[in-house]
Amino acid sequence: MVKKIFVFIALIALGLPCMAQEFSSRLFHKGWLVTEDQDTIRGDVKYDMETNAVQVVIGNQKINTYSSKKILYFEIYDNLLKTYRQFYAIPYQIESNYKVPILFEVLYEGKTSLLVREKIVMTTDPYSQAYFNGPSATSEKLAFTYYFVDTQGNMTLYNGKKNHLFEILNENSNQVKEYIKENKLKTDEMRDIVRITAFYNSL
């Protein structure tokens, strides 16, 4: 599987004059999907990680919706980011002794793989209208949650802290620390986390 680095830009102010912002999850993209029955469906694909659902339009037909329980894999060519993106529906333990397939994007695949989930969150700038005594600007942006997966399929939710990263990438943590320091990488930014994961897999 192709190793990828994705850069997402999220800038929008709601309720105030601004440039409209689009998010990939709100658009349809050319792609294909494999169902749990091994059927391959091609068409315009739209994903939603918050509801764990994928919509597919085939030709001029109606929109077909698939829950993550009915999906094995799907791939899109992202019209906004101009790159291919790959997703899997992977069983994840949401409660004790209970797992359900949810959607994950693959950022890097190797001995230690890196997955991500995204969601759109609201933020507020309390100083945006301070001079006018008006309401604060409300913006939307993408928030990411990262997961590391080992060769046995064990998945670890990464909390974004440097010490936790070293616990996960523990086999060569000293070399990883030096690599991060030399390249001035941040352990909470997507592009840098992908680079760190690729380096770790090369050791």
User: Do 38 and 130 belong together in one domain?
Assistant: yes
Which contiguous run of DSSP H or E holds residue 92? strand 83-95
Closest CA to 53 of 34, 67, 37: 67
Averaged confidence pLDDT in the chain = 86
164 in a structural domain? yes
Q: What is the pLDDT of residue 129?
A: 57
Parent domain of 188: 160-203
Tokens 């941040």, residue located:
186
User: Do 69 and 28 belong together in one domain?
Assistant: yes
User: Do 167 and 146 belong together in one domain?
Assistant: no
Residue pair 181/196 in contact by the 8 Å Cβ criterion: no
CA distance linking residue 149 with residue 201, whole number of Å: 12
Q: What is the pLDDT of residue 96?
A: 75
CA distance linking residue 66 with residue 135, whole number of Å: 40
Q: What is the pLDDT of residues 100-133, one digit of tens each?
A: 999 999 999 999 999 999 999 988 766 655 555 6
In Å, how far are 7, 146, 148, 149, 194 from 83, measured between CA atoms?
10, 20, 22, 23, 16
171 in a structural domain? yes
User: Do 152 and 194 belong together in one domain?
Assistant: no
127 in a structural domain? yes
Q: What is the pLDDT of residues 153-203, one digit of tens each?
A: 999 999 999 999 999 999 989 999 999 999 999 999 999 999 999 999 999
CA distance linking residue 36 with residue 161, whole number of Å: 36
3 in a structural domain? no
With a pLDDT cut of 90, the percent of the chain lying above it is 73
Q: For residue 89, which amino acid is it?
A: A
User: Do 154 and 164 belong together in one domain?
Assistant: no
Tally of structural domains, the chain: 2
User: Do 183 and 86 belong together in one domain?
Assistant: no
Q: For residue 82, which amino acid is it?
A: K
5 in a structural domain? no
User: Do 25 and 61 belong together in one domain?
Assistant: yes
